[in-house]
Structure 1
Amino acid sequence: MKNRTSFYFVIGMIILAIIGVASRFISNPTAFFQSVLVFLVIGFAIFFLVRRFNGGNPQKHEQSAFRKAAKKSKKRFQQKDIRKPSVKPMNGNVSTLKKGKNKAKSAAHLTVIEGKKGKKKKRASF
């Protein structure tokens, strides 16, 4: 029951709003367009102010940097797949084929961060 009454209330408000907008448009169209224009300008101003002050969120910057890196990585791996030649039958012994599979791949996107690993911390002795 409660849902029906709120539904009828909302429908009634929408109908009254449509009647009010139509009567305002018919009685004075220039004032109607002026008020619509002012409403849009204020709405855009608030929108841009909110975007300007919420744009400095560092978490959003990290997310955009992550998405950018993910796109680059995806593109790089897709290019590797395209460049791979089709599989050709090889004539050779088994030991030479296994040596090629055991070859370590270089991870070019990883970097080493130097630190103080060898130094011991100075601790207070009691």
Structure 2
Amino acid sequence: MAFLKNRTSVFIVGVLIILALLGIYGSFTANPAGFIQRIAVIALIGLVIYFVVRKFSNSSPQKKEQRAFLKAAKQSKKRLQQKSGDSTIKSPTLGTLSSLKKSSKTKKKSPAHLTVIDGKKSKKKNRASF
């Protein structure tokens, strides 16, 4: 805000704001329907730009890692609930055959994206072989 310290720049900015307000007032009094239509179009374009920017800014790697962590936490919680639920005695007449088939189809495990690579840490590199 260093440019506002100079009195001439404050005067120029004030004059520009007053002219803008006079232009908006004149446009509104000359054609109110057209003015409202232009404002609506500007707002619509602003919303489209906002959502496009928001969509691309949400694809950061940190947010993807956070979603993966939350998904893994839910799966872990389900496993713990299933393990604790297996110890109780269940009656065999809880579900029909069709409901059991539906539940087995809906349960799909997500593929594991992490693999373990066995390394040879105990062996020392033979520098002469390079």
Q: TM-score, normalised by structure 1?
A: 0.50
Q: Any idea what SS the aligned residue of 2:126 has?
A: coil
Q: How many residues align?
A: 81
C-alpha RMSD over aligned residues: 3.2
Alignment of 1:1-126 (within 5 A): 3-61=6-64, 65=66, 119-125=122-128
How big is the shift at 1:54? 2.3
Residue 33 to residue 5, structure 1, CA distance change in 2 (3 Å): same
Residues in 2 aligned to 1:61 and 1:10: alpha-carbon distance in whole angstroms: 44
Q: Deviations over 1:68-112 (max 9, x none)?
A: 99xxxxxxxxxxxxxxxxxxxxxxxxxxxxxxxxxxxxxxxxxxx
Q: TM-score, normalised by structure 2?
A: 0.49
Residues in 2 aligned to 1:27 and 1:118: alpha-carbon distance in whole angstroms: 81
Which of 1 and 2 has higher RCO (CA within 8 Å, sep 6+)? 1
Residue 118 to residue 2, structure 1, CA distance change in 2 (3 Å): closer
The runs of 5 or more residues in structure 2 that have no matched partner are 71-117
Residue 118 to residue 27, structure 1, CA distance change in 2 (3 Å): closer
How big is the shift at 1:125? 3.7
Q: Among the aligned pairs, what percent are the same residue?
A: 42
Residues in 2 aligned to 1:31 and 1:7: alpha-carbon distance in whole angstroms: 32
